[in-house]
Structure 1
Amino acid sequence: MPGGNVLAPAEAAAILFVLFFGLLALRVPVAFALGLAVLPITLIEPRLGPLLLVGETFNAYNSFILLAVPFFLLTANLMNAGGITSRLMELARALVGHIPGGLAQVNVVLSFFFAGISGSSTADAASQSRIFIPAQVKLGMDLRFSVAITACSSVLAVIIPPSILMIVWGGILTVSIGGLFLAGIVPGMLITLALMGTVYGYARRRNYPVFERAGLRETLCAAAHAFPALLTPLLIVSGKLFGWFTATESGCIAVIYAAVLSLVVYREMSAEGFYRAVLESARFASVALFCVGTASAFGWLLAYYQIPQFMLAGVASWGMGTTATGFFVAFVFLVVGCFLDAIPSIIIVGTILQPITQAVGMDQIHFALIGIISLAFGLVTPPYGLCLMIAAHIGGIRVIDAIRDVCIMLVPMLGVLALVILFPGLVLAIPRLAAPGMLG
């Protein structure tokens, strides 16, 4: 066997992927399925041994960048507990509540605002679903529509900076995190507009209610109340861009800033609320980081057996250019996102596809945004669709009941993804202007 290994690349790949997807079919959690898929090969291959799983898992945790994940989750939960989210909702209502769709438009715009704080779509889906689904149904909006728009708008949190997926992507694939933050601004705005347009179409067809148009004084008051919270993404992105602090340090600063706003400025967070925010953040972070660890062990074995080169040996002969490669990358991530969480997808699939994009000269920030947007859409597509499952559970309906509306909303969102692939300038324009050294 080449290299003295017992298993050939094809055999190792078959064991890893068949076992992994078999465990997923049995409803084993993703993180455990990844770890269990690694174990048989470590027992078969004399050079490895089962301790490899433990070693590579803990090596993944030895990353300063990944410390940013729990910090950003804590920032979002502190802002929820401290009344900051309610002030952002007041501003969103003043700005767009009078547009057809009313509360659903507020739902989308609040997700846009909240995305600049949390970086986590699951946190957004959990908090927004509890607020908007019952309220929209009470106003006469269809429950399936309410679940679908809440789930779809929550994906903005991983596209608009600061994004946990951007931090993981930058750390794993060695791409400028500051550049990724800047590149996500325009696609995030376009997807927000696409969702607002979809809500407008629903509202006109179904005659959904609207709020009374806010006056200038009311809008300015709402903006003044929300202004300190809106400074959070600006503080994080500018600090990373100008080199004042790293991504992890920006997470720490965001936590301190959120705590000061909640405890000192708005004074709405109790000791019990602070405790719940910390507990919820720890729970979400432990799940995400456990996935990072086992996915890293899985990815290490892929590299050890040179499985990416084996799997993609024929792709290079297709003669694809940058645009065709972009659509190929999007297709792969869209399919993978239906079955696998975004973080392990980046670690496993991102490392497989990166050499192809480099070979055709694709900018790595452009590649990253195509992958991240595609994986974001996977959060609302079954059978995985974590954000859709959260929204459907809170709404009290089956996931399948909301699928039709989700598919309708995904059409313009996929249109934005196609524009990002066809026109790289949409994601690269701001990085080129603000920090051209981050491109490459």
Structure 2
Amino acid sequence: MGGNTLASGQAAWILFGVFFTLLALRIPVAVALGLACVPVLMLEPRLGAMTLMQETFNAYNSFILLAVPFFLLTANLMNVGGITDRLVRLSRALVGHFPGGLAQINVVLSFFFAGISGSSTADAASQSKIFIEAQRKEGYDDSFSVAITAVSAVLAVIIPPSILMIVWGGVLTVSIGALFLAGVVPGLLIAAVQMGTVHAYAKARGYPTYPRSGLREAFVAAFVALPALMTPVIIIGGKVFGWFTATESACIAVLYAGTLSLFVYREMGLKELWGALNETGRLAAVTLFCVGTASCFGWLLAYYQIPQAILEGVSAWGMGRIATGFFVAAVFLVVGCFLDAIPAIIIVGSILQPLTVGVGIDPVHFAMIGIVSLAFGLVTPPYGLCLMIACHVAGMRMADALKDTIIMLLPMFGVLMLVIVWPEIVLFLPRLVSPEFLD
């Protein structure tokens, strides 16, 4: 932009230089993003420190973002209200007889949990408490237990309703209903390859298996868990068919989970409700603070036209649709190692979107490439929040679980490649159910 004190290159060096320096000093990501903006704002006469506050609070002025704390509250109500216990029972009836039965239950429960909570960190926290010690008692290696718990937790950002899909749709103006539908098939494929990985580990290491559940036991478990399983049907169906918005669906999910916990399963009292509200407030504050500072960082990138300068260089490479898809995935895979997924969407997604439009990648397809790629960052150092949570519960170092984690990520990477090369994996359901969602 003409008349600025700083050129685009100078602003970019300051923004990214300060940000990565602060990360190296182990400053929290959300704080580092905000502090990185301060030198530029001070050096530019047209701007000032108040710009940081203005752009941060402008980001919060979004009806869609209200869905984030409500979906987090849904997950916490599930944990304290007995809903998770019913889903564990159903998962055991369905897959407990597979090789590595307890780890298979872990994956299937993550799949069910993902369809209700939308939060991988909430999933990792609850699953770690349930499964890591139980697997330890049954003879599973600690590194395997931590790895499968952390890796299966990433399903929550891919299977709808995903908080990342809500943020992506709100920031980049993509139909959230289409994103919900687009995540179903990749989520199923990733769950399937994770179960296959557990099967291979169990056969190689002799992990135990539970007796096969009888038909009556499976039917009873499904009947008891059916009210909980209706939650994603209500949320996704209501959004896709236009009965309510994403934020309204999150509110309905809270009311439904609260009703189940209080009146159907009757395992939540006032103490448990207060605990769920307290935990939700803490997690939502961290998440939304990250949204605010990332939005200011992204605003400064746009102010100095840094994305245009980056895209001019990349566009000169002359990449086609598939090559651009792999480039997008590579960028998100690298960025996800250092940055939380939400600021990565706000900053990097906004930069790459024009590039994908130029080569004819559908916005929903671009979104799913980005979201699946960012899911890897939840279990890869140095950020790796889900892996960090699981390691903390297990009382072990991240480095000790890294080998098994990488092995489990390889089949997931195969699914990501399929998503890039074959767009119909993500576009099939949106086209079938609501083609008006797609451009």
Return the alpha-carbon distance in structure 2 between the equivalents of residues 43 and 337 of structure 1: 29
Secondary structure at the residue paired with 1:4?
Answer: coil
Q: CA deviation at 1:288?
A: 0.2
Aligned counterpart, 1:436? 435
Secondary structure at the residue paired with 1:79?
Answer: helix
Return the alpha-carbon distance in structure 1 between the equivalents of residues 99 and 417 of structure 2: 27
Aligned counterpart, 2:352? 353
Aligned counterpart, 1:170? 169
Secondary structure at the residue paired with 1:312?
Answer: helix
Aligned counterpart, 2:192? 193
Structure 2 unaligned spans of 5+: none
Aligned counterpart, 2:156? 157
Return the alpha-carbon distance in structure 2 between the equivalents of residues 349 and 421 of structure 1: 18
Return the alpha-carbon distance in structure 2 between the equivalents of residues 377 and 407 of structure 1: 10
Secondary structure at the residue paired with 1:32?
Answer: helix
Aligned counterpart, 2:377? 378
Q: CA deviation at 1:66?
A: 0.1
Aligned counterpart, 1:142? 141
Return the alpha-carbon distance in structure 1 between the equivalents of residues 176 and 266 of structure 2: 33
Return the alpha-carbon distance in structure 2 between the equivalents of residues 157 and 395 of structure 1: 21
Matched, 1:410 2:409: yes
Give, as a single letter, the amino acid of the residue that structure 2 aligns with 1:336: V
Secondary structure at the residue paired with 1:370?
Answer: helix
Aligned counterpart, 1:254? 253
Give, as a single letter, the amino acid of the residue that structure 1 aligns with 2:107: V
* Aligned Cα root-mean-square deviation (Å): 0.5
- In the alignment of these two chains, the number of paired residues is 439
Aligned counterpart, 1:312? 311
Aligned counterpart, 2:231? 232
Aligned counterpart, 2:271? 272
Q: CA deviation at 1:275?
A: 0.5
Matched, 1:293 2:296: no
Identity in percent: 71
Matched, 1:365 2:368: no
Matched, 1:217 2:220: no
Matched, 1:119 2:127: no
Give, as a single letter, the amino acid of the residue that structure 2 aligns with 1:409: M
Q: CA deviation at 1:317?
A: 1.4
Secondary structure at the residue paired with 2:2?
Answer: helix
Q: CA deviation at 1:313?
A: 1.3
Matches within 5 A, 1:30-109: 30-109=29-108
Which string of whole-angstrom CA distances, capped at 9 and with x for unpartnered residues, describes residues 117-143 of structure 1? 110000000000000000001000001
Q: CA deviation at 1:242?
A: 1.1
Return the alpha-carbon distance in structure 2 between the equivalents of residues 76 and 232 of structure 1: 11
Return the alpha-carbon distance in structure 1 between the equivalents of residues 169 and 335 of structure 2: 20
Secondary structure at the residue paired with 2:368?
Answer: helix
Q: CA deviation at 1:318?
A: 1.2
Which string of whole-angstrom CA distances, capped at 9 and with x for unpartnered residues, describes residues 34-80 of structure 1? 00000011110000111000000000000000000000000010011
Give, as a single letter, the amino acid of the residue that structure 2 aligns with 1:349: V
TM-score by length of 1: 0.99
Matches within 5 A, 1:23-34: 23-34=22-33
Give, as a single letter, the amino acid of the residue that structure 2 aligns with 1:362: I
Q: CA deviation at 1:312?
A: 2.0
Q: CA deviation at 1:321?
A: 1.1
Q: CA deviation at 1:234?
A: 0.7
Which string of whole-angstrom CA distances, capped at 9 and with x for unpartnered residues, describes residues 86-109 of structure 1? 000000000000000110000000
Give, as a single letter, the amino acid of the residue that structure 1 aligns with 2:325: G
Return the alpha-carbon distance in structure 1 between the equivalents of residues 8 and 166 of structure 2: 30
Secondary structure at the residue paired with 1:267?
Answer: coil
Return the alpha-carbon distance in structure 2 between the equivalents of residues 249 and 182 of structure 1: 18
Deviating beyond 4 angstroms after TM superposition, the runs of 4 or more aligned structure 1 residues are: none
Give, as a single letter, the amino acid of the residue that structure 2 aligns with 1:292: V
TM-score by length of 2: 1.00
Secondary structure at the residue paired with 1:17?
Answer: helix
Return the alpha-carbon distance in structure 2 between the equivalents of residues 65 and 327 of structure 1: 29
Secondary structure at the residue paired with 2:312?
Answer: coil
Give, as a single letter, the amino acid of the residue that structure 1 aligns with 2:179: L
Return the alpha-carbon distance in structure 2 between the equivalents of residues 23 and 267 of structure 1: 47
Give, as a single letter, the amino acid of the residue that structure 1 aligns with 2:416: L
Structure 1 unaligned spans of 5+: none
Return the alpha-carbon distance in structure 1 between the equivalents of residues 198 and 217 of structure 2: 24
Q: CA deviation at 1:271?
A: 1.0
